[in-house]
């Protein structure tokens, strides 16, 4: 007589139980998900093919909500993937219109066509889409170069910071382009500078998502040189003296102290500078005039006079 293995019998019963449990769960799932359900969902609206020379206004609707009716399997699909409605704007645009209108019936038709076939769409909101459009225009806008620069001792800039090119073409909705007077560069920092600066930088624009720039980057540049101090005595010239009036200046010469670039240092002479006093702007009570430097070569900075007032005597 053969003996029965109790462990084997126990394993067989467990397998049978698990099989029946799995079948019961599968039957329950099929029954549950075969029923119809209704729920409110929100779908993102994706627009494409806008009319030529137009763009979507910032305040265009970007989603719709509606009631979905369908079996549980359809709902399970949209549990993991949010629905999206794509709209071809060229099919609904009327020439000369400032907005595109999609009525309720067409909106439901579009939405239903892009969802699963077993899904029904009802109570869509908004009932119709009003999609405002902006005209696209272009204009040339000057660029303002920005940078934070610190120079090594004895070095300075020979010219002002500038961009190449000095202006860019901006295209976008008219309400943004028309009020744009200039565009600034990103602010770059340069420390202990001894050499010329030349760097490509991006442009900063508030409405970067709606405006297009050409080019998108510019080059900022500035010429740098070593500077040294120099002094030159220059005669003072008086202008606007009335006919028949003779004056004597005290002093007749003035010493100008300035910093000049090393490359131009030897070329700067007395003739390179012109200092005047305007007789019409004299202080007649105290008999003095203020000297002004009206001519100087490029590259001179921090010019100072040995005296700030020039006394005079009048002879008639």
pLDDT given for residue 256 in this prediction: 93
- Token pair listed for 292: 């002004």
Q: How far apart are CA 205 and CA 143, in angstroms?
A: 11
pLDDT given for residue 31 in this prediction: 52
What is the per-residue burial (b if ≥16 Cβ within 10 Å, else e) of 247-279?
Answer: bebeeeebebebbbbeebbeebeeeebebbbeb
pLDDT given for residue 73 in this prediction: 55
pLDDT given for residue 33 in this prediction: 47
Residue ranges in the chain modelled with pLDDT below 70: 1-37, 70-81, 116-119, 207-209, 316
Strands (E), 145-252: 147-151, 155-157, 162-164, 167-173, 183-185, 188-193, 197-204, 212-214, 217-222, 224-239, 246-250
The residue whose two tokens read 């602010």 is 187
| pLDDT, tens only, 45-86 | 888 888 888 888 877 888 888 877 765 555 555 555 677 888
Q: How far apart are CA 111 and CA 270, in angstroms?
A: 84
SS (H, E, C) 190-214: EEEECCCEEEEEEEECCCCCCCEEE
Q: Where do the domains of the chain lie, and which CATH numbers do they carry? A: 34-127 (2.170.120), 135-222 (2.170.120.40), 227-315 (2.170.120.30)
| pLDDT, tens only, 13-33 | 666 656 665 655 655 555 554
Q: Is 172 helix (H, G, I), strand (E, B) or coil?
A: strand
Full-model pTM: 0.58
Q: Is 296 helix (H, G, I), strand (E, B) or coil?
A: coil
């Amino acid at each position: 007589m053969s003996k029965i293995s109790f462990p084997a019998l126990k394993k067989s019963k467990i397998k049978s139980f698990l099989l029946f449990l799995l079948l019961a769960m599968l039957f329950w799932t099929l029954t549950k998900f075969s029923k119809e359900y209704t729920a409110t969902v929100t779908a993102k609206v994706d627009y494409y093919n806008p009319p030529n020379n137009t763009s979507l206004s910032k305040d265009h609707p970007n989603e719709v909500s509606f009631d979905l009716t369908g079996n549980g399997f359809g709902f399970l699909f949209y549990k993991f993937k949010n629905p999206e409605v794509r709209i071809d704007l060229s099919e609904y645009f009327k020439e000369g219109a400032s907005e595109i209108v999609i009525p309720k019936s067409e909106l439901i038709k579009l939405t239903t066509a892009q969802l699963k076939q077993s899904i029904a769409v009802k109570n869509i909101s908004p009932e119709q889409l009003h999609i405002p459009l902006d005209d696209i225009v272009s204009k040339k806008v000057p660029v303002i170069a920005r940078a934070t620069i610190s120079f090594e001792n004895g070095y300075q800039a020979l010219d002002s910071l500038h961009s190449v090119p000095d202006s860019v073409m901006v295209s976008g909705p008219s309400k943004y382009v028309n009020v744009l007077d200039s565009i600034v560069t990103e602010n770059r920092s340069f420390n202990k500078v001894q050499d010329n600066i030349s760097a490509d930088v991006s442009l900063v624009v508030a409405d970067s998502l709606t405006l297009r720039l050409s080019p998108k980057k510019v080059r900022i540049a500035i010429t740098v040189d070593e500077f040294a101090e120099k002094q030159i005595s220059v005669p003072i010239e008086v202008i606007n003296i009335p006919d028949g009036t003779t004056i004597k200046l005290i002093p007749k010469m003035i010493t100008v102290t300035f910093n000049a670039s090393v490359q131009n240092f030897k070329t700067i002479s007395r003739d390179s500078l012109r200092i005047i006093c305007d007789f019409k702007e004299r202080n007649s009570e105290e008999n003095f005039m203020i000297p002004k430097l009206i001519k100087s070569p490029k590259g001179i900075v921090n010019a100072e006079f040995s005296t700030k007032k020039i006394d005079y005597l009048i002879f008639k």
